């Protein structure tokens, strides 16, 4: 229901006007402006964590909006460099005109990839719903040719992902393995969470084996700490050290665990989202843990 509600324009209008719902979003985002994100980042960086930034907003309706999104991210790379933050930037292809013109989207991604290279940062492509996977991989291959540290998210719930990972390993990729956050049909994705969890562990093993021969930089994007513990044990067994893989989690989720893993010597990055267009993204966060809905309701009733 929550993922279906994410697509509702009427609920989007209601939620973004509601002061209580906006207040509740603060658990997962420090604010709507780039400065809010940068200030929160400086606090997190002081705990020894790396950072990732994303500006919320997806599925544009007019290709001209993509120019403004590209310019925003160019400014973000400059701001990261000016503040000396160890931070990277993650974008959704549909923010950059993917649905309107793949050609234009590729141009924007290449401009951002060169900027990432120039400022010593990195550009990431998020993975969106399953209809976008082939074209997102194609975009990744294009930016990877000008930007060595470019990263791509892959989703464990899709049946196709082990094959995609195998093919990508040929270009020595940086891959962020996530469970997957979209409502997908059983024809393309595991309907049961337990199957996704098992697939995650198997693909993590595949990525670590590639890391052991220098063919992949694996990033594990999950808050599932027992699963992470098994992955860390597998890394050790293969001789893969904490600098040869990373763990990424979202701002506001399992912060204590993020700090504990950091203290144990793991490389941890916190992904900070900010922006005005938070509705769809926020609904996906609620869907991941419906107990969070209680938090919104409590905020609405004081
Ligand atoms: C860095 C990063 C980047 C991501 N990029 C993408 C992407 O590009 N494409 C995509 O489809 N998805 C992306 N995701 C989302 C991902 O697919 C999952 O939906 C999300 O991470 C929740 O699953 P989990 O791996 O944490 O495991 P789960 O098994 O769902 O959760 C494990 C535990 O973490 C805690 N937890 C998880 N989610 C929440 C929450 N919202 N609120 C409070 N506690 C929570 C709970 O304690 C839960 O028991 C990203 C996630 C991360 C961390």
pLDDT confidence tier of residue 62, bands split at 50, 70 and 90: confident
In a domain, 1, yes or no: no
Cα separation, 285 vs 175, whole angstroms: 22
The answer to whether residue 293 scores a pLDDT higher than 80 is no
Of ligand 1's listed atoms, the one at least distance from the Cα of 179 is 17
The CB of 292 under 6 Å from ligand 1? The reply is: yes
The 10s digit of each residue's pLDDT in 190-219 is 999 999 999 999 999 999 999 999 999 999
Three-state helix/strand/coil letters over 262-290: HHCCCCEEEEEEECCCCHHHHHHHHHHCC
For residue 122, give the nearest of 184, 185, 80, 71 by alpha carbon: 80
Of ligand 1's listed atoms, the one at least distance from the Cα of 52 is 1
The 10s digit of each residue's pLDDT in 123-164 is 999 999 999 999 999 999 999 999 999 999 999 999 999 999
Q: Which of 176, 197, 262, 285 is catalytic?
A: 176
pLDDT at residue 153, rounded to an integer = 98
Annotation says 36 is catalytic? no
pLDDT confidence tier of residue 264, bands split at 50, 70 and 90: very high
Annotation says 144 is catalytic? no
In a domain, 115, yes or no: yes
pLDDT confidence tier of residue 302, bands split at 50, 70 and 90: low
The CB of 209 under 6 Å from ligand 1? The reply is: no
Please, are residues 292 and 281 in contact by the beta-carbon 8 Å criterion?
Answer: no
For residue 56, give the nearest of 285, 287, 279, 278 by alpha carbon: 278
In a domain, 163, yes or no: yes
Please, are residues 46 and 85 in contact by the beta-carbon 8 Å criterion?
Answer: no
Residue 224 CA to ligand 1 center (angstroms) comes to: 8
The answer to whether residue 283 scores a pLDDT higher than 90 is no
pLDDT at residue 81, rounded to an integer = 98
pLDDT at residue 300, rounded to an integer = 63
The answer to whether residue 295 scores a pLDDT higher than 80 is no
Which residue out of 124, 223, 291, 294 has the highest number of ligand 1 atoms within 8 Å of its CB and is therefore the one to mutate? 223
Q: Which of 22, 70, 106, 126 is catalytic?
A: 126
Enclosing domain of residue 148: 30-277
Burial string for 150-175 (b: 16+ CB within 10 Å, else e) reads bbbbbbbbbeebeebbeebbeeebbb
| Region for 251 from its dihedrals, namely left if φ exceeds 0, alpha if ψ lies in -120 to 50, beta otherwise | beta
Q: Looking at residue 167, which CATH number applies to its domain?
A: 3.20.20.220
In a domain, 8, yes or no: no
In a domain, 289, yes or no: no
Give the residue-averaged pLDDT of 58-78: 91
The answer to whether residue 9 scores a pLDDT higher than 60 is yes
Residue 64 CA to ligand 1 center (angstroms) comes to: 31
Strand partners, 158: 189
Terminal C-alpha separation, the chain:
25
- 123: helix, coil or strand? strand
In a domain, 290, yes or no: no
Tally of structural domains, the chain: 1
Nearest CA to ligand 1 atom 17: 180
The 10s digit of each residue's pLDDT in 231-261 is 999 999 999 999 999 999 999 999 999 999 9
In whole angstroms, what separates CA 32 from the centre of its chain?
A: 17
The CB of 288 under 6 Å from ligand 1? The reply is: yes
In a domain, 285, yes or no: no
In a domain, 178, yes or no: yes
The CB of 224 under 6 Å from ligand 1? The reply is: yes
- Degrees to nearest 5, angle at CA 83 with 77 and 87: 50
Cα separation, 300 vs 298, whole angstroms: 5
Distances in Å between the Cα of 278 and the Cα atoms of 167, 180, 253, 261 are 33, 18, 16, 28
Give the residue-averaged pLDDT of 104-114: 97
> What is the radius of gyration, based on Cα positions, of the chain?
18
């Amino acid at each position: 229901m929550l993922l279906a509600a994410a697509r509702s324009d009427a609920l989007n209008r209601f939620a973004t006007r509601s002061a209580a719902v906006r207040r509740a979003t603060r658990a997962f985002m420090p604010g709507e402006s780039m400065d809010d994100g940068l200030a929160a980042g400086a606090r997190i960086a002081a705990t020894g964590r790396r950072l990732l930034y994303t500006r919320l907003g997806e599925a544009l309706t007019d290709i001209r909006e993509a120019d403004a999104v590209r310019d925003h991210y160019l400014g973000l790379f400059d701001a990261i460099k000016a503040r000396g933050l160890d931070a990277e930037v993650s974008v959704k292809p549909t923010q950059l005109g993917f649905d309107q013109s793949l050609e234009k989207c590729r141009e924007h991604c290449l401009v951002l990839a060169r900027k990432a290279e120039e400022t010593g940062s990195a550009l990431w492509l998020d993975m969106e719903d399953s209809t976008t996977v082939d074209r997102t991989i194609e975009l990744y291959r294009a930016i990877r040719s000008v930007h060595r540290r470019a990263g791509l998210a892959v989703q464990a719930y899709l049946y196709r992902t082990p094959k995609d990972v195998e093919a990508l390993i040929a270009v020595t990729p940086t891959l962020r393995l996530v469970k997957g956050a979209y409502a997908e049909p059983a024809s393309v994705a595991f309907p049961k969470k337990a199957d996704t969890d098992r697939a995650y562990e198997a693909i993590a093993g595949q990525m670590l084996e590639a890391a052991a021969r220098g063919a992949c930089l694996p990033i594990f994007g999950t808050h599932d700490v027992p699963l992470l513990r098994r992955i860390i044990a597998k890394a050790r067994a293969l001789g893969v050290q904490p600098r040869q893989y990373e763990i990424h989690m979202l701002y506001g989720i399992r912060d204590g665990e993020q700090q504990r893993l950091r203290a144990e010597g793991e490389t941890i990055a916190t992904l900070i989202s900010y922006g005005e267009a938070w509705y769809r993204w926020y609904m996906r966060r609620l869907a991941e843990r419906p107990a969070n809905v209680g938090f919104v309701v409590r905020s609405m009733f004081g």
